Structure formats: structure tokens, C-alpha cells
Amino acid sequence: MKQLFERGILNGVLGTFLVAWAFAAQAAWPSDRAIELVVPFPAGSSPDILARVVAEPLAKELGQAVVIINKPGAGGNIGTRVVAQAKPDGYTLLYTINGPLVTAPTLFPQTLGYDPAKDLAPISLIATSPNVLIVSEQMGVTDLPSLLETVRANPDKFNYGSVGLGSASHLAMKMFQSQTGLVMQHVPYKGFPDVINAMLLNDIQVSFMVPAIAMQQVKAGKIKALGITSTRPVAELAGIAPLAEQGLPGFEAISWNAMLAPAGTPDAVLNRVSDVVARIMRDPAVQQKFTAVYFTPVGSTPEELAAFMRVETDRWVPVIER
């Protein structure tokens, strides 16, 4: 009995020590190595550029190097899966866009290899950006009503371009067609530069496109912008009204960036990164870099990002299923 009693005390002391050691290790994060911020897109892509804007001040705030790791492929799904399967110790984080988190699970349910709701822990909604509805100059339309009238009078005559089946630009157009009843042929391309070239050649006439690329051609007078896909005006896109204010109530199809971690990452780590990112996104210098490419800085809590992802999933799943 005495031995059991002494063994129990020993086990209790050992347990207390292990808990205290784990707490101390967690509290000391990050302490022993660089943090890998995985971007599931190529170097030079929009997510990569913006991730680097965040990574530099993040490293300074945390007192530890933050290294960008590009893991492109499958529309961001490959790199996202890498993070979902990584050790949840706070040293692997994810900087990604909405596709791998919201639309991919419905588009690729058998091959995705991860469940965003179960395998990833939200940290922060970084920033949002609308898409722009653009049309070719050769089409001869000047506003949304004239676009609707022209296409309805000529069903199946016009083509729209996207950056691939199931991409944000494709799904935005499917939502647009659902609300307007327009009939157009879909022509997918490898990237937005190809879409722009096709529109300049009048191979396609309509597209939804990220403003960082679209506005270069709009300002040059080579294409027309008829509306944006946020429900509120965007200061950097002054003069281009939301489609929701042009007879398509509630129309919203925004792009966004977010930071997440593998599920099981300690809450203390998630909250600390979230707090730091929120401060970073309030920095005027950082804000200027985001608004220069038409992104509105946010910097949310983990709970706010989780709720936002649920709303976005509820928005897009029915569109994909249809």
C-alpha cells in the first residue's frame, strides 16, 4: 500500500511537471526554429506577393523568422493539403485564397485529401477584394442594362472567359447567369492574361476578373468595366458600382485571403498570431500595399474567420451543385 501511495505521488508530480513543461513550451512559442508560411500558389502570384507583405512584419512581431514556402498545384489544393497534414505545433501556417477552403471540397470531394472544417484551424481573414465584370470594346455595350439586352437578343452568340472550370471567375459567372438568365458559352483559359488577350481579340466578350489585372486594361481604354461583385462600393474602384446596386440584389462574389494552421494547433498560438496579424493589417504602410492591388485589409479573429467561411460555403455550394 505504501509503495502504491508513493508511486501515486510520483506519478502526480510527474504529470504536473509534464503539464507545466508543455505550458512553458507553448508559452515560449516561437522559440527554436523558423515558422513556415505555406502559400499554395507560385512565386509571383497575388497570394504570394501579399503573403510576403504580411510575413515581414509578422516575423518582426514574433521575433522569429517567417519563411515563405510555395507549394503550387491543383488550384491551391496541394499546398493546402500539406498544411492540413502538418504537425500542429505552430511552425507551419497557411496563407491561401478562398478556393481551396470553400469551393474545392464540393468540386473535388473524392480527391481533395482534406476537410477545411476539420483539418484546418482558422487564424485570420486577411483581406477581401471584389471581382470586376468586364466586356470587350467590340461588344458595343456601355452598362449592365445594355449588356443584358444585347445578350438576351442574341442567345448563344457570345462567349465568356474564365481561368478554369470551377474557378472563382467561372462560378461568379454561373451565379450571374442564374440571376439574369443570360446564355453564353464558357471558354476556360490557363490564366487571366490569356483571358485578357482573348477579349482583346474578341474571341470572348465577357468575364469576371480580379481588378489588379482588369483595371490595367480598363484604364487603357481597351475593355469596359460594368460592375463589381462586392455589395458595397470600393474606394479604389470609384465609379464602378456594385452589381447588387444595379438590379441584382445581394449579388456578391468576392475573393479573399486568409491565414490558417493545422487543426490541433494550440489556441494560444492561433490567438497570438491573429492578434499580431490584426495589428499588421492596421499599419498604414501595409494597408497601402493591399489597397494598391484593390484588396481591403481586414485582420479578423479566428472565430470571425470560421463564421465567414461557413457563410461563403453556404453561398457557393448550391451554385456548384446546380
Same domain for 140 and 115? no
Instruction: Write down the pTM of the prediction.
Output: 0.85
- Where helices occur in the chain by DSSP H, the ranges are 2-27, 46-62, 77-84, 104-107, 116-119, 144-153, 168-180, 192-200, 211-219, 267-281, 284-291, 302-321
Q: Report the pLDDT value the prediction gives residue 75, as an integer from 0 to 100.
A: 84
- Give the CATH number for residue 225: 3.40.190.10
Q: Which of 156-170, 229-243, 253-267 is predicted with the least confidence, judged by mean pLDDT?
A: 156-170
163/191 Cα distance (integer angstroms): 5
Report pLDDT digits (tens) over 255-297. Answer: 999 999 999 999 999 999 999 999 999 999 999 999 999 999 9
Mean pLDDT of the chain: 91
Domain assignment present for residue 2? The answer is no
Q: Report the pLDDT value the prediction gives residue 3, as an integer from 0 to 100.
A: 56
10/251: higher pLDDT:
251
Domain count, the chain: 2
Same domain for 187 and 275? no
Strand pairing class (206-209; 132-136): antiparallel
Same domain for 120 and 59? yes
Same domain for 114 and 63? yes
Domain assignment present for residue 81? The answer is yes
Instruction: Please report, as a single letter, which amino acid is at residue 73.
Output: G
Domain assignment present for residue 314? The answer is yes
CB neighbour list of residue 37: distance below 8 Å, 6 or more residues apart: 51, 55, 58, 66, 67, 68, 69, 93, 94, 95, 259
CB neighbour list of residue 182: distance below 8 Å, 6 or more residues apart: 148, 151, 152, 176
pLDDT for 1 beyond 80: no
Same domain for 227 and 175? yes
The pLDDT of 161-188, averaged and rounded, is 92
| Chosen domain end from 222, 245, 268 | 245
Domain assignment present for residue 61? The answer is yes
Domain assignment present for residue 155? The answer is yes
Burial 156-190 (b: 16+ CB within 10 A, else e): eebbbbbbeebbbbbbbbbbbeeebebebeeebbe
176/134 Cα distance (integer angstroms): 13
Same domain for 289 and 142? no
Q: Which domain holds residue 234?
A: 132-245
Same domain for 221 and 156? yes
* % of the chain surpassing 70 pLDDT: 92
Report pLDDT digits (tens) over 14-65. Answer: 544 444 444 444 558 998 899 999 999 989 888 999 999 999 999 999 999 9
Domain assignment present for residue 10? The answer is no
- Give the CATH number for residue 48: 3.40.190.150
Q: Report the pLDDT value the prediction gives residue 4, as an integer from 0 to 100.
A: 45
Domain assignment present for residue 284? The answer is yes
Q: Report the pLDDT value the prediction gives residue 25, as an integer from 0 to 100.
A: 45
Same domain for 204 and 218? yes
136/221 Cα distance (integer angstroms): 10
Domain assignment present for residue 232? The answer is yes
The pLDDT of 161-169, averaged and rounded, is 87
Same domain for 240 and 305? no
259/301 Cα distance (integer angstroms): 11
| Chosen domain end from 217, 245, 273 | 245
Question: Is the distance from CB of 125 to CB of 298 less than 8 angstroms?
Answer: yes
Q: Report the pLDDT value the prediction gives residue 98, as an integer from 0 to 100.
A: 92
- For 43, the grid coordinates are 512565386
Same domain for 140 and 241? yes
Same domain for 121 and 92? yes
Q: Report the pLDDT value the prediction gives residue 6, as an integer from 0 to 100.
A: 55
80/151 Cα distance (integer angstroms): 39
59/284 Cα distance (integer angstroms): 18
Same domain for 222 and 88? no
Identify the top-confidence range among 36-50, 120-134, 158-172. 120-134
Angle (CA) 15-20-22 rounded to 5° is: 95
Q: Report the pLDDT value the prediction gives residue 272, as an integer from 0 to 100.
A: 98
| Chosen domain end from 216, 245, 274 | 245
